[in-house]
Amino acid sequence: MKDLTPRLIEESESKKLGIPHGWYGTRVSGTFMTGPCASLDECLEAIRLLPEVAAKLATAINNLYVIGYRAPESFLSGKWRRVKIRLENPSGARLRVATRSGYFPD
């Protein structure tokens, strides 16, 4: 991400933009890619780390699975329904699951 440059957003401009004031790593187009950072050094470090963070994010997104479920008509009472997810992992690989504890059926 060598096309990023640090930019200080002062308090007055931050109010116009609706963002916190501080240092941001920005593209030439003005797109904010990092920030807000408390100092120029922190912003430069965020810019330096961005490719590594982006690669980790890409890996996480590529390993994302979404499981859906729709209750049968007879279960559409409008009451809270608890969800419990169990994994079987015979390979022993490290897995992480993000889920909600339940839902209200439509």
Q: How many residues does the chain have?
A: 106
Where are the domains positioned within the chain?
5-62
pTM of the model: 0.57
More confident residue, 92 or 26: 26
CB within 8 Å of 20: residues ≥ 6 apart: 14, 36
Region label for 22, one of left (φ > 0), alpha (ψ between -120 and 50) or beta (otherwise): left
In tens, the pLDDT along 64-90 reads 788 877 767 666 677 888 888 888 888
